[in-house]
Structure 1
Amino acid sequence: MLIGIGGVSRSGKSTLANLLVTYFRKNGKKAIIFHQDDFVFPETEIPKVRDKTDWESPSSIDHDLLFELVEEFNTRFEVVIVDGLFAFYDENLNDLYDKRLFVKISKRSFFIRKVADNRWGYIPTWFVDHIWKSFLKYGNDKNIKGDYITVSGEDEFDMEKVRKYVD
């Protein structure tokens, strides 16, 4: 089974992916996660916006390599999970998914979480706004082809709903 998990930055995609891989492994399934962030091009190859690296552009991700590895691992694992802002952007990958989950949070929650995220240092407000706009353009649920469910990332995940969908 191949599962795609998409949503805006800081929505809980990786948390949900980790919860699912743990669930599958506890139930005796061989499961693995691919985080789209692990497939970014070198910073020098990523476009800039106002002299800042635009990690929120689909051209920042090596979609071909991700697709190639997911295709290969999908034959070696019972469950493969892909999470990322652009999880549903690449049509080839989108067509492979058996299950699609979209993690939704409000714009307000996104702003609060993103401003509090100091992993990369200070993020200017204009760039946080740019991230939201990029999500609306490239990562929103309108890009999903096929059936999917939406789960709230505002609080704890409704894992009963998620498990019913993936089982």
Structure 2
Amino acid sequence: MENDINILLKQIKENHTGNRYIAGIDGLSRSGKTTLVNHLSHYLKKNNIPYVIFHIDDHIVERNKRYNTGEEEWYEYYSLQWDVKWLSHHFFKKLKSAQMLSLPFYDNERDTCEFRDIYLPERCVIIIEGVFLQREEWKNHFDFLVFLECSREKRFLRENAETQKKIEKFKNRYWKAEEHYLHTEFPKENADFLIEG
């Protein structure tokens, strides 16, 4: 992991010449994205590089918009979990220029979204971590994209025992959506940097 982070840091240092540099940490569920981002933020801090981190899962929609919609479960997860178009216009397209972003943050316990204002430094590295970042609507907003490659078996074992019992949900919702992503957007092949998670 340390070697991968050094390569990423070198990439950021060499290319972070403009006002903002947008790096995407993409990968399927439980592939190690958050762990990588935590390590990366530690190194950025140590190297005095200002940064802002966004977790795409903070910006999902309320349950009634993504469950029991009449669509197939995998489609609900892939296409309805986020308001893809809204995020494209009000988040991704504004990252380079906006001083402030107003974004919906999802509260799982209350199943509500609350808007918060996020201020962006004029010069910084913006790290966005999450699944399906290389979807058609979002991928062109990144300066650099990392994909964490990790087998389904290994990722499934990282789920807690209670979650592992819900195998049908994985088969119908998550894994079908992941297959769709892998076979339509080719994230492994199109990423700038591939890491074994």
Q: If the length of structure 2 is used for normalisation, what is the TM-score?
A: 0.63
- Select which of 54, 59, 80 maps to 1:59: 80
Question: Counterpart amino acid of 1:137?
Answer: H
Structure 2 unpaired stretches of 5+ = 1-20, 98-119
* Contact 1:6 1:83 survives alignment (8 Å): yes
Aligned-CA RMSD value: 2.9
2:180 aligns with 137
Instruction: Please state if 1:151 is matched with 2:173.
Output: no
1:88 aligns with 134
Distance across 2 between alignment mates of 1:66 and 1:18: 24
Runs of 4+ with deviation above 4 angstroms: 52-55, 143-147
Larger radius of gyration: 2
* Contact 2:85 2:137 survives alignment (8 Å): no
Spell out, residue by residue over 1:2-44, the C-alpha distance to the aligned partner (whole angstroms, 9 max, x if none): 0111111111112212222222222111111111111111111
- Which has the larger displacement, 134-143 or 8-17? 134-143
- Select which of 29, 47, 69 maps to 2:91: 69
* Contact 2:146 2:191 survives alignment (8 Å): no
Shift of 1:117: 6.1
1:128 aligns with 170
- Select which of 43, 50, 69 maps to 2:63: 43
Structure 1 unpaired stretches of 5+ = 154-167
* Contact 1:7 1:139 survives alignment (8 Å): no
Question: Counterpart amino acid of 1:81?
Answer: I
Query: Identity, % of aligned pairs?
Result: 24
1:5 aligns with 25
Shift of 1:72: 3.5
Distance across 2 between alignment mates of 1:147 and 1:86: 12
Aligned length in residues: 148
Q: If the length of structure 1 is used for normalisation, what is the TM-score?
A: 0.73
